[in-house]
Amino acid sequence: MRSRHFSAMTITLLFIIFTAGPLASTGAKWTYNGPDGEHDWSSNYPFCGGAFQSPIDFQTQLLRYDPNLPPIQVQNYNLSTNEQLTLGNNGHSVQLSLPFHMHISSLPHRYSAAQLHFHWGSSSLLTGSEHTVNGKRFAGEMHVVHFNSDKYPNISMAVDKHDGLAVLGVFIEIGEFNPAFDKFFKYINGIKYRDQKIQVPAFNIRALLPVRLDEYYRYDGSLTTPPCYPSVLWTVFRNPVTISRKQFVALATALYASYAHDSATVPLHGNYRKPQHADNRVILVSFKDGLHGILSAASPFQRKQVIQKLLVGDLADLADEGLYQLLPKLSPQPGVDEKFKKPKKQGQWSQATQKQQWSKNNVQSSSSIGKKIPTPWYMGALETDKGMCFVSLEENVVHQLERYHAKGLMVEALREVIFPELNLRSYLHCRSNLDLQTIRQLIKGRSQDEATELEQSLTKAMLRQMRRQIKQHRKPNMKTTIGHPQATFPKDYNSALTYHSPQRVEWED
C-alpha cells in the first residue's frame, strides 16, 4: 500500500509546470504476447497501466443516447488514382498512409487524416476486433486515425495531447467479398516482413466505411498500443463492413512481425488488445432504435451547475439537499463494478463560465491577498484552450519520483495525477460520470467537516443505488435488449464496492 506521504506527494504533482521533452522509454520493444506482451507494457509505457484506456466493451448499461450527435461527415475521402499511398508493415499491423487533405468536418475541430491500420485474429480464430459489443468480438477492426490539425501541425505533435486525435473505428465481419479492401489487400505480399513498404495507387477510402455514418458509439479513450496516451476521441460505427473469408485468411496468414533477415519468422496475427476498464466513462450513442430503456445523456448545463456547487456552494447544505440527485443517474441495469474505479477524460466550459468560476475561486480568503496562488488543478479541464501534454507530464512525474526514490510507483502516480482531470473533462462533455475521487479533489481545502459530510452522503446514496440495481438484476424476468443483450453482473457483489487497482492493458497503433 502507498504511504500517506506518497499520496500527498502525488497530489502536489498536479501543480507541476510541464516542460516538453523526449521520453527515455520511447522505442522500447513491445508485442501482443510473450515476455513483452501487453501484461508488461506499463513497465516501459506507464500510461498503458493508467486511466481512460482503450479499447472497451460497449456494454448496454454504459450507453447514453445523445440526440445532438451529428452524422459523421468526411471530406476528400475519394482519392484520385493518380495519388500514391504508402502501404507498410510496422511489425504490429498493416498500415496505409493517408493524405492531409482528407479530414473529418463534423467535430468541434478539424481532424485531418494520417493513416489507417487493422487489428485481426488468426486463420484458426476468426475474432480479432479490439472493441467489443456486450462481449461479442468481431473478426477484425479498422482504425482510421486523424489528428487535430486546427491546433497541431502534424500527428507527432498531436499524439500526446488530450485533444490530439480522433479515430474512426470500423468493425469487420466475415461475409461478402469486399472490392474496396482488395484495392490494397492485393499488395500485402510486398510487405510480408517488418518495416517493408511499397507504394500503391490511391482509391476511394470512403468505400471502406459503412454505408451509414450516422450510427456510432462515442467515448473518450486512448491509443490501444504503447505509449497508450489517453488522447483519442473514439467514434466506432455501429454497423460492420464485410470481407470474404478468403480475404480475411489472406490478411491473417501473409504477414510477419519479424524482419526479413531474422532466422526465425514470427507470424503477424492476433494483434488486438483486450478490453480495458470503463473507468466511470459512459458511451454516447447516436442511435436509439433496438435499445430498450436506454438513458439519455445528461445536460452539460446541469453538469456545470454541479461543479459550481462543489467549488463554491455550501457543502453541508448540498449534503442535506442530496447533491447525488444532481449527478447523472446510474443505469437501471447492472454493471456498477465499473462505477467505483478511478476515472479519466475530457470536458470543457464556456469562456464566460470559466472566467466567472476563476474569479470566485481566487477570492475566497483575504489571507491569500498578495501571495502567489498556484493554479487549481481543475483549471486545466475548465479552460477551453488549456491542453494536457502527456509526454511532459510523464517526464515531470519521473523527475518527482526520482527525488523520492519511488520510480516503481510510476503507473500509480501518473494515474493519480491525471485521473481527476480526465474525469472532469469527460464529465463536462457528458462522456463520464463524476467520480468520487474527482469530487474529493474538487472539495479539497474546503471545510473538513462539511467535505466529510458531503462525501458520506454521496457514498451512502451510491451504495443504495447499487443495492437497488443488484436487487433488480436478480429478478428472473429481465428483458434482453435487441442487438444488445444484458451484460452479466459480477457474482461477487462486494467487489463492486471497492476500488480495483488499474489492470495492465493493450493498445492500437
Task: List active site positions.
Answer: 92
Q: Residue 86: which residues within 8 A CB-CB, separation 6 or more?
A: 96, 97, 197, 198, 199, 200
Rg (CA), the chain: 23
Q: Is residue 328 within a helix (H) or strand (E), and if so which, with residue range?
A: none
- 315 bridge partner residues: none
Q: Residue 27: which residues within 8 A CB-CB, separation 6 or more?
A: none
What the block records as the C-alpha cell of 456 is: 458520506
- 143 bridge partner residues: 117, 169
Q: Is residue 68 within a helix (H) or strand (E), and if so which, with residue range?
A: none
> Strands 283-285 and 63-65: what pairing?
parallel
The letter for the amino acid at 295 is: L
Q: Answer yes or no: are the C-beta atoms of 384 and 354 closer than 8 Å.
A: yes
Q: Residue 120: which residues within 8 A CB-CB, separation 6 or more?
A: 128, 139, 140, 141, 172, 248, 251, 252, 269, 270, 271, 272
Measured between alpha carbons, how far is 138 from 33 in angstroms, rounded to an integer?
20
Distance from CA of residue 357 to its chain's centroid? 27
Distance from CA of residue 59 to its chain's centroid? 15
Q: Answer yes or no: are the C-beta atoms of 91 and 99 closer than 8 Å.
A: no
Q: Is 56 left (phi over 0), alpha (psi -120 to 50) or beta?
A: beta
Q: Answer yes or no: are the C-beta atoms of 41 and 505 closer than 8 Å.
A: yes
> Strands 216-221 and 232-237: what pairing?
antiparallel
Measured between alpha carbons, how far is 3 from 235 in angstroms, rounded to an integer?
40
Measured between alpha carbons, how far is 248 from 252 in angstroms, rounded to an integer?
6
Distance from CA of residue 266 to its chain's centroid? 30
Measured in residues, the chain has a length of 509
Q: Residue 215: which residues within 8 A CB-CB, separation 6 or more?
A: 237, 238, 239, 285, 286, 287
